[in-house]
Amino acid sequence: MALKENDFVELDYTGILKEDNSVFDTTDASVAKQHNLKGDFKPVIVCLGKGHLLQGLEKKIIGKELGKHRIELSVDEAFGRKNAKLMNLIPTQNFFKQGIRPEPGMPVQIDGTMGTVRAVTGGRTIVDFNHPLAGKDVIYEVTLHKVVTDSAQKVKALVKSFINQDAQVSIDKDDASVSLKAELPKQIADELGKEVAKLAGVRHVNFLKA
């Protein structure tokens, strides 16, 4: 059966640069080990069409059958083209004042925005605020494991996607109770609860501090 928008699907993916076959992202523990990547690697559950994955990738997954797929994304389908306006010249002295010695390739944060140092010359530092993969064609090797129908799994996956917190979820008569380590402000809890309830197909979502 072909996958549809709003389906919840458990999947693994590996992102590869087309130009040199280097791996830049994966959920697969065996791939991560092979490429000496550090972190927590396991399948993810996503709601298709809701921006939980790269938009171009989601569009190409919709309509696919379960199983393994190799999906190619052009520059425009992936992370977009480089924008020259996002290359900024910043006085190197500004970095020195913060105890930072900028070097090419160094990730930096300027006014809350992440960038990458491209060059340091003549008292000026060139910082690139484009996405690190802008201008690149990419390939995703995707394994679509199963369609998820369990409401608790849906709620847990949505909470993880929206606020990057692991939750304990229980369902009672279409009402979901979500236990989190950190308490959410009421306004955020209310708005998040409405969105999660709508997508997961439950009546109400209540957030609790574990």
> What residue ranges of the chain are covered by domains with CATH 2.40.10.330?
87-128
Cα gap 167→155, rounded to integer Å? 9
Tell me the fold of 87-128. Answer: Thrombin, subunit H (2.40.10)
Q: Quick count: other Cβ atoms within 10 Å of Cβ 102?
A: 19
Q: What is the pLDDT of residue 129?
A: 96
- Determine if the pTM surpasses 0.75: yes
Main-chain dihedrals φ then ψ at residue 8, nearest 5 degrees: -95, 130
Cα gap 92→61, rounded to integer Å? 44
Structure tokens at 95: 């970095």
CATH architecture of 150-210: 2-Layer Sandwich (3.30)
Structure tokens at 74: 């052009």
Tell me the fold of 1-82+135-147. Answer: Chitinase A; domain 3 (3.10.50)
pLDDT per residue of the chain (210 residues) written in tens, 0 to 9: 899 999 999 999 999 999 999 999 999 999 999 988 888 899 999 999 999 999 999 999 999 999 999 999 999 999 999 999 999 999 999 999 999 999 999 999 988 899 999 999 989 999 999 999 999 999 999 999 999 999 999 999 999 999 988 999 999 989 999 999 888 899 999 999 999 999 999 999 999 987
Cα gap 83→191, rounded to integer Å? 34
* Residue 64 identity: K
